[in-house]
Amino acid sequence: MNRKPSETASGTASWTSDDERWEAVTRREPQADGAFFYGVKTTGVFCRPSCASRQPRRENVAFFTDAAAARAAGFRDCKRCQPGGLPRELEIVNRACAALDADRQQRLTLAQLSDAVHVSPFHLQRLFKRVVGVSPRQYQAAQRGAALRDALQCGSDVTRATLDAGFGSPSRMYDSAPAELGMAPSAYRRKGAGLTVRYASASTPLGFVLVAATERGICKIGFGDDTATLADDLRSEFANADLLEDTVHLAPFIAQIDAYLRGTRQNFDLPLDIAATAFRQRVWEALRRIPYGETRSYSQIAEAVGTPRAVRAVASACATNPVALAIPCHRVVAKGGALAGYRWGLPRKAALLDNEAQHAGVFSRGPITRDERVLADADAGVGNGNGNGNETTTTKLDHAA
């Protein structure tokens, strides 16, 4: 006789009894993975409910709430389904994320989400924030923001994009759009159409720097080998904005950068106009707290924002930093001190750190090693940006007055 698993208030299966669990095993139910495990007494192996191995006899099966309990009872991991591949905490968070990702238009409450993954709301809130770095509510908001950006970039009108992204109403969308997009949705859809972006470039000891700003603040700081390429990159990013070269307006900002590069300034006073998800905001704030002349590893930043396992997500946040120096992603290095990657080129990163070390009274780290170059090439998509570390620009800072 087939039994249906009991359901919670949100309509999700709970698999609370052994009969329900056995039914999930016979159906190889993937939704039950993480909710429990089963051990086979005749083989001494324990599996996930969805394991594709030959099904055991019911009398030879024992059920466990987690992998640790199965191991404590003397069972070993199945080599086929690898039930110990993720800790139970990550299993719970993965299922919570899957529930939130399934339909961006739904707005699951914490109670509904906790029912879906079979843990208490309090436990889920703490666990989710510790693993992901944001609350389930912030995660949903970030997902809606990503859906809105995708729809606008594909040419959808603002009203349709708003509804498809799950905002429910235009007013809700316009309340959160500035934080997610950095500009009004209509302007984002038109690649900055209707915006005035002023920019200026200048020669520095690290090559050329370009600074761009909207009326709200600086939206881009980038380095390059020539002003033409920097300007072309800006035009591509803000293809339909009104771009005005304005050295007078941006002179005070460029002066701060020049003073920093020459060692006479350690902190910036720059208004920023940049878009970021909740997690990236946390990472960028952590970067701004790294003292001048010091470095942190990606894992240290992950721990600082409360997500010790999210090292790659931290690296991605560093790589998408649009304002070099103002958010000092150059101060993040690989574990052990190797430079890893940098969007504006590994030589520039080395020069920046060397410059800070000298003016902070810390011993200079010395030239880039061959191993660091190899690591940077291998991890170009994981470190602080998209550069391949092969730039040949001369970056030894000129410290003359």
- The fraction of the chain above a pLDDT of 70, given in percent, is 71
Of 321, 324, 340, the closest CA to residue 283 belongs to: 321
Q: Is the pLDDT of residue 32 over 80?
A: no
Average pLDDT over residues 26-41: 85
Co-location of 109 and 164 in the same domain? yes
Catalytic position from the list 97, 219, 318, 329: 329
**pLDDT recorded at residue 204:** 92
Say how far apart CA 95 and CA 115 lie, in whole Å: 11
Report the 10 Å Cβ neighbour count for 136: 23
pLDDT digits (tens, 9 = 90+) for 334-353: 888 888 778 888 899 999 99
**pLDDT recorded at residue 194:** 65
Co-location of 338 and 302 in the same domain? yes
Average pLDDT over residues 47-76: 91
154 appears as a binding residue in the annotation: no
Co-location of 354 and 314 in the same domain? yes
Which residue would you say has higher pLDDT here, 226 or 366? Answer: 226
329 is catalytic: yes
Please say whether the beta carbons of 392 and 346 come within 8 A.
no
| Residue range(s) defining the domain that contains residue 57 | 18-77
The answer as to whether 389 is a domain residue is no
pLDDT digits (tens, 9 = 90+) for 355-397: 999 888 644 444 555 444 444 443 434 344 433 333 333 333 4
Co-location of 120 and 93 in the same domain? yes
- Of 208, 228, 261, the one marking the end of a domain is 261
Co-location of 92 and 185 in the same domain? yes
- As for how many domains the chain has, the answer is 4
Co-location of 97 and 179 in the same domain? yes
192 — pLDDT class (breaks 50, 70, 90): low
Catalytic position from the list 47, 97, 219, 318: 47
- Of 189, 210, 229, the one marking the end of a domain is 189
Average pLDDT over residues 197-201: 95
- Of 189, 216, 236, the one marking the end of a domain is 189
Co-location of 97 and 180 in the same domain? yes
Decide: residue 103, CB within 10 A, 0-12 exposed, 13-18 middle, 19+ buried: exposed
pLDDT digits (tens, 9 = 90+) for 262-271: 889 998 988 9
Co-location of 94 and 185 in the same domain? yes
**pLDDT recorded at residue 35:** 78
Indicate the length of the chain as a whole number.
401
51 appears as a binding residue in the annotation: yes
The answer as to whether 313 is a domain residue is yes
78 appears as a binding residue in the annotation: yes
pLDDT digits (tens, 9 = 90+) for 269-306: 889 888 777 788 889 999 999 999 999 999 999 998 88
